């Protein structure tokens, strides 16, 4: 039995992601450019043939999955993006000015409540652990899994796959509609592929 792969796809461009706003639970749609990104990935991602496809409940992820050719996905609430609380809709640059903290980053910040309760990075890591448990159960039978979700969440999930603290997701850059793969090598959790064009699916499955 071949080792199964956990495939990750971040959603396409939104207006907020284009201008670098923290976009957590605000349910923004893809831009026309984001829709094109997802459609262009479709002929390549069809080579993955996963046994389990999970998707965030937020529309930007659902649109990406559908346009990329996966309509029979299962919504998993745990795949929603980090709840940024009072930082929602703000850019890092603007937060640094407002707080007079030139080195501020979301990864080591306390997240205060805003219109939503907010989540600390460790809370997001706990959600990621639940998703990983669900995927490992499928992967144990040799079935690949595919997740459509969000940049920060998938970076945190990757850190947890590797046994790292959730805040170490800061180390993994992830661009819109890029393909990443997590797997096992010699009983060690590893990154098999990272932030690659969707075309990489064809070569990986060949």
Strand 52-55 relative to strand 74-75, pairing: parallel
The 10 Å Cβ neighbour count of residue 93 is 11
- Which DSSP letter does residue 91 get? B
Distance CA 197, CA 143 (A): 22
Distance CA 65, CA 42 (A): 9
Copy the structure tokens of residue 144.
């690949």
Task: Kindly provide the b/e burial profile for residues 130-150, where b requires at least 16 CB atoms within 10 angstroms of the residue's own CB.
Answer: ebbebbeebbeeeebbbbbbb
Among 119, 107, 46, 106, smallest CA distance to 78 is for 119
Q: What residues act catalytically?
A: 11, 81
SS3 of 112-174: CCCCCCCCCHHHHHHHHHHHHHHHHHHHCCCCCEEEEECHHHHHHHHHHHCCCCHHHHHHCCC
């Amino acid at each position: 039995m071949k080792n199964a792969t956990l495939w990750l796809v971040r959603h396409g461009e939104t207006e907020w992601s284009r201008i670098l706003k923290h976009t957590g639970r605000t349910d923004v749609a893809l831009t026309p450019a984001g829709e094109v990104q997802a459609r262009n990935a479709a002929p390549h991602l069809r080579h993955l043939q996963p046994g389990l496809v999970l998707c965030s409940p937020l529309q930007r992820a659902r649109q990406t999955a559908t346009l990329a050719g996966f309509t029979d996905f299962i919504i998993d609430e745990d795949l929603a993006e980090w709840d940024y609380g009072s930082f929602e809709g703000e850019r890092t640059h603007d937060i640094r000015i407002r707080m007079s903290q030139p080195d501020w980053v979301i990864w080591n910040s306390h997240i205060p409540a805003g219109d939503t309760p907010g989540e600390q990075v460790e809370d997001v890591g706990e959600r990621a652990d639940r998703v990983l448990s669900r995927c490992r159960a499928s992967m144990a039978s040799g079935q690949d899994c595919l997740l459509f979700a969000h940049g920060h969440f998938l970076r945190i999930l990757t850190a947890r796959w590797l046994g790292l603290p959730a805040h170490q997701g800061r180390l993994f850059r992830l661009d819109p509609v890029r393909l990443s793969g997590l797997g096992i090598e010699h009983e060690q959790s590893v990154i098999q592929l990272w932030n690659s064009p969707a075309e990489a699916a064809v070569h990986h499955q060949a």
